Chains A and B, each alone.
Chain A
Amino acid sequence: AQSVTQLGSHVSVSEGALVLLRCNYSSSVPPYLFWYVQYPNQGLQLLLKYTSAATLVKGINGFEAEFKKSETSFHLTKPSAHMSDAAEYFCAVSASDYKLSFGAGTTVTVRA
């Protein structure tokens, strides 16, 4: 079975500071990994995904994530936070064609 653990349910950063959201996965087969973002009162939107083509994945809105097999991690970063980055972020793993397992989510607050 596949699962992900997101470290930290809440992250607070200053505008312009680095955003780092941590995700560790467990999978018995090579995984596909995803980061989704959820803005208040909206559905989830894909930020980026890892599909084994490249270990450093670039997504929308300046986010990127690095797949590290040795650490079973897929941490999400953004060099400079913007007020519009305030949202909840979910890491997810899939090892099949259709089932996703989501982490508990990390809420990001951006301070002016």
Chain B
Amino acid sequence: NAGVTQTPKFRILKIGQSMTLQCTQDMNHNYMYWYRQDPGMGLKLIYYSVGAGITDKGEVPNGYNVSRSTTEDFPLRLELAAPSQTSVYFCASSYSSGLGSNEQFFGPGTRLTVL
């Protein structure tokens, strides 16, 4: 199993440009997540999905959009890039058993710089 894969690994955007960060998991997990990581701030949840066709906002959703058309894929869209979106983005997935104790599996991250 490849686990959680993310593309691209690195990207530099100009202010106002758009891009999609790709995330795929092959573990048949029903839950998927997008986080951003900024120095000294830990990870902040951007959006999450509890299954295909269902998405919801996390702590910091402004400036981002997501979709979940399949169990495997959960792309994150930046429509009008701003310098404040310079960050490392992590995708994660987990299996829900209804107990709240399931670990999340993380991808390797995408390092995005907006200039």
Interface residues of A, Cβ cutoff 8 Å to B: 9, 32, 34, 36, 41-46, 49, 51, 90, 94-100, 102-105
Q: How far, in whole Å, are A46 and B107 apart by their CA atoms in the complex?
A: 12
- Asked if B104 and A100 make an inter-chain contact with CB atoms under 8 angstroms apart, the answer reads yes
Given contacts A51-B101, A96-B100, contact A104 B108 (CB under 8 A): no
- Asked if B100 and A94 make an inter-chain contact with CB atoms under 8 angstroms apart, the answer reads yes
Q: How far, in whole Å, are A91 and B84 apart by their CA atoms in the complex?
A: 25
Measured between beta carbons, the chain B residues less than 8 angstroms from A41 are 108-109
Would you call B34 an interface residue if the criterion is a C-beta within 8 Å of the partner chain's C-beta atoms? no
Q: How far, in whole Å, are A102 and B38 apart by their CA atoms in the complex?
A: 12
- Asked if B96 and A90 make an inter-chain contact with CB atoms under 8 angstroms apart, the answer reads no
CB distance from A39 to the nearest CB of B (A): 11
Q: Could you give, for residues 19-40 of chain B, a 1 whenever the CB lies within 8 Å of some chain A CB and a 0 otherwise? A: 0000000000001010000001
Q: How far, in whole Å, are A96 and B90 apart by their CA atoms in the complex?
A: 20
CB distance from A8 to the nearest CB of B (A): 12
A-B contact pairs, 17 of them (CB 8 A): A34-B103, A36-B106, A44-B90, A44-B92, A44-B104, A90-B42, A94-B100, A94-B101, A97-B31, A97-B96, A97-B98, A97-B100, A98-B33, A98-B100, A99-B58, A102-B44, A105-B42
A-B pairs with CB below 8 Å: how many? 61
- The dominant DSSP class at the B interface is loop
Measured between beta carbons, the chain B residues less than 8 angstroms from A32 are 100-101
- The size of the chain B interface, using a CB distance under 8 A, is 28
- Asked if B41 and A104 make an inter-chain contact with CB atoms under 8 angstroms apart, the answer reads yes
Measured between beta carbons, the chain A residues less than 8 angstroms from B48 are 98-99
**Which single residue of chain B is at the shortest CB-CB distance from A34?**
B103
- Asked if B101 and A102 make an inter-chain contact with CB atoms under 8 angstroms apart, the answer reads no
Measured between beta carbons, the chain B residues less than 8 angstroms from A99 are 45, 48, 58
Interface centre among B98, B99, B100 (most CB of A within 10 A): B100
